[in-house]
Amino acid sequence: MSSYANWYQGQYNPHVYVPPYYNQPYQQAGWQGLNFNFPGSTSKWSINPILASDMTHVRYDVRKPAREGIMLSTWQQISHVPAFVTPTYEVLIVSKAFPWSILIHVPAGSVVTCGAIFEGLHEMLQKPIEDSEWGIVALGDKSRREAIEKAAKSRQEKDGDKRLKRIDWLGDTPMFKGMEKDEDFQKKRHLPGSAKVAETWVVRFAKP
């Protein structure tokens, strides 16, 4: 896929996030045949421990842009580090905490980095909640509706944006807690008829 096609897809398909700054080969992005085989993890080390739910020490508040929500010194160290052991050009992220999915896709010759994961999550969750999405909640899930409205009120007092946003869907659990494999959930969550993405991961969230 050409760079222009990547840009076009990322701009007009809310399901796809294409980092705008990707124009270097993966060797320059920091991939040097990484070894993530540290003791204590159940993630099988195909994913960087920075992102693994059982190892990460990054508690990123996804309400903020990654460059602001993660301490600057930490961000400078992790933002360009590859997210996976082997060069990976796209990753599909789903969650039990929200109904959307996001495909992070980088141009050929680059790799998905930890920074792209954090930035992609933030950008996706800043999108407004659609009328049809709100209709499902408003008519059938009282506790979810109340949590969204409470989170939205708190956020709106700070940013002045009166629209409901996807980030409000997380209620009082906006902290990134890591990514993990959940094969049963991934199978149920997969949209019938759509292409499968080998690197499909479930993102978890927690309270601050």
**pLDDT tens track for 113-139:** 999 999 999 999 999 999 999 998 999
Residue 153 lies in a domain: no
How many Cβ atoms from other residues are within 10 Å of residue 30's Cβ? Answer: 16
Domain range for 41 is: 3-127+172-206
Residue 154 lies in a domain: no
Residue 163 lies in a domain: no
**Contact call for residues 179 and 204 (beta carbons, < 8 A):** yes
* Number of domains forming the structure of the chain: 1
**Contact call for residues 89 and 73 (beta carbons, < 8 A):** no
Residue 152 lies in a domain: no
3-state DSSP assignment of residue 123: helix
Which pLDDT score, from 0 to 100, does residue 142 have?
A: 92
Residue 161 lies in a domain: no
Strand-pair category, 200-206 with 90-94: parallel
Provide mean pLDDT across the span 166-172. Answer: 97
pLDDT above 50: residue 155: yes
Provide mean pLDDT across the span 71-92. Answer: 92
* Chain segment 5-51, per-residue pLDDT in tens: 333 334 445 568 777 654 444 444 443 444 444 444 445 568 999 99
Residue 145 lies in a domain: no
Provide mean pLDDT across the span 68-84. Answer: 93
Residue 112 lies in a domain: yes
Provide the whole-model pTM.
0.81
Residue 15 lies in a domain: yes
